[in-house]
Structure 1
Amino acid sequence: MPKLTVTEQAPGHYTVEGNLTFASIDKQSLKSFNFLKGMDSICIDLANVGTTDSAGLALMIEWIKQARSNRVKLSFKNVPAQLLALAKLSGFDETEYFANRTP
C-alpha cells in the first residue's frame, strides 16, 4: 500500500500521491490539514493517486470543510475516474471544487 503524501509543488499548488482508501487514510492523514491554512486559494492535483474508494471522497469532503472554515478557495484537478464516479453519486462533481478536474 503506497503511503499517502501531500507535497507542495508551488505556493498554493499541492500534489497527492498514494492510495485514497480506508487502508491508507489514517489519523495522521487527517491531521495533515495544515496545508489548507494561510493561502487565499489552493489547488490539489490528484494525478498521482492510485486506488480510491469512498474514504478518498470523505477525505476530499473534509478538505473542503477545512478550506471553508479557513476561507480558502479550494479546487481539485486530475481527479481519478473512480473518485469522480463516487463524487457523481453525491453530486459533488457539479460543485466549484471540481472545476479544474481535467488536465
Structure 2
Amino acid sequence: MSTLKLIKQTPGYYVVKGQLTFAAIDRQTSKALKFQPGQDKICIDLAAVTATDSAGLALMIEWIKLSRINQSRLRFKNIPEQILALAKLSSLDKNEYFASDA
C-alpha cells in the first residue's frame, strides 16, 4: 500500500512525505491539515513527495479551498514537476499557488 504522511514541523509549517496519488490519498487526508484559528500563514513543503498524479493536484486544490475558508494564506514549497505539469494542463499554472515563480 502507498503511504502519505503530513508532518507538522512547526506551527504553520508542514512537510508531506510519500506519495500524492490515488492509492495514498483518502477522505481523511484532506482533513489532516489542521487550520488553527488565527493562523494566518501556512506553508506545505512537498520536497519529500516521491510520486504524484491528478489526485495530488486535487488534494492541493482542496487545501487551497480550506485555507480560503479559514482565511489563512497558504503557500506550497517544492512543488513536484508532475504537479506543475498537471496544473498547466488544467490552466492553473497562472494561479498564484502553482505559478512557476511561486
Decide: shared fold, TM above 0.5.
yes
8 Å contact from structure 1 (residues 78, 100) kept in 2 = no
- CA–CA separation in structure 1 for the residues paired with 2:41 and 2:100: 13
Query: What is the RMSD computed on CA atoms of the aligned residues?
Result: 1.9
8 Å contact from structure 1 (residues 77, 100) kept in 2 = no
TM-score of the pair, normalised by structure 2:
0.87
Residue ranges of structure 1 left out of the alignment (5+ in a row):
none
Aligned residues: 101
Tell me the equivalent position of 1:46.
46
Q: Whose helix proportion is higher, 1 or 2? A: 1
Give 1:94 shift: 2.1
The DSSP-based 3-state class of the residue aligned with 1:30 is helix
Tell me the equivalent position of 2:25.
25
- 1:61-80 Cα distance to aligned partner (Å, 9 max, x none): 00000000000000101001
Tell me the equivalent position of 1:37.
36
Q: Identity rate of aligned residues, in percent?
A: 57
TM-score of the pair, normalised by structure 1:
0.86
8 Å contact from structure 2 (residues 87, 98) kept in 1 = no
Instruction: Find out whether 1:76 has 2:72 as its counterpart.
Output: no
8 Å contact from structure 1 (residues 42, 75) kept in 2 = yes
Give 1:28 shift: 2.1
